[in-house]
């Protein structure tokens, strides 16, 4: 039960950190052109993979609980990001509203790589 609560709390904290980052620095993420788009998705993959590798250690879960902990982190994270994506203009008034799809895709991309990182046993 303790691992579950820590993981769910970490998911809400992660969602809050990502949301805050995009709230203050979102105009720097969504720049026209192909290269910035590719850099964003490469960065999302790298950060997601890193989170999947280190979150189980931060949460101090056993080797058999790694994947479960990652899934429990991602549940509140993805729920929060789904709400933000569906109401993108409400949350990010200074950003172009058509970027909601890019934002949602970037969050899913990062979450997928977090799961991949959680599957890697060290």
Residue 97's pLDDT is what?
A: 86
Angle at 114 between CA 9 and CA 89, to 5 degrees: 70
Q: Would you say residue 44 lies in a domain? A: yes
pTM: 0.87
Segments in the chain below pLDDT 50: none
Q: How far is CA 98 from the centre of its chain?
A: 20
Residue 33 lies in a domain: no
pLDDT for 52: 94
The pLDDT, as a whole number, for residue 33 is 67
In a domain, 113, yes or no: yes
Nearest to 55 by CA among 91, 8, 92: 8
In a domain, 100, yes or no: yes
pLDDT at position 35 is: 73
Residue 88 lies in a domain: yes
Q: Residue 25 domain-assigned? A: no
């Amino acid at each position: 039960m303790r691992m579950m609560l820590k993981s769910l709390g970490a998911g809400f904290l992660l969602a809050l950190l990502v949301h805050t980052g995009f709230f203050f620095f979102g105009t720097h993420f969504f720049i026209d052109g192909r290269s910035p788009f590719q850099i964003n998705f490469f960065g999302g993959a790298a950060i997601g993979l890193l989170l999947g590798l280190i979150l189980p250690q931060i949460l101090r879960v056993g080797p058999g609980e790694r994947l479960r902990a990652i899934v429990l982190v991602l549940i509140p994270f993805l729920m929060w990001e789904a709400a933000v994506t569906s109401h993108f203009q409400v949350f990010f008034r200074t950003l172009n509203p058509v970027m909601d799809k890019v934002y949602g895709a970037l969050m899913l991309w990062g979450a997928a790589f977090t799961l991949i990182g959680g599957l890697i046993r060290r």
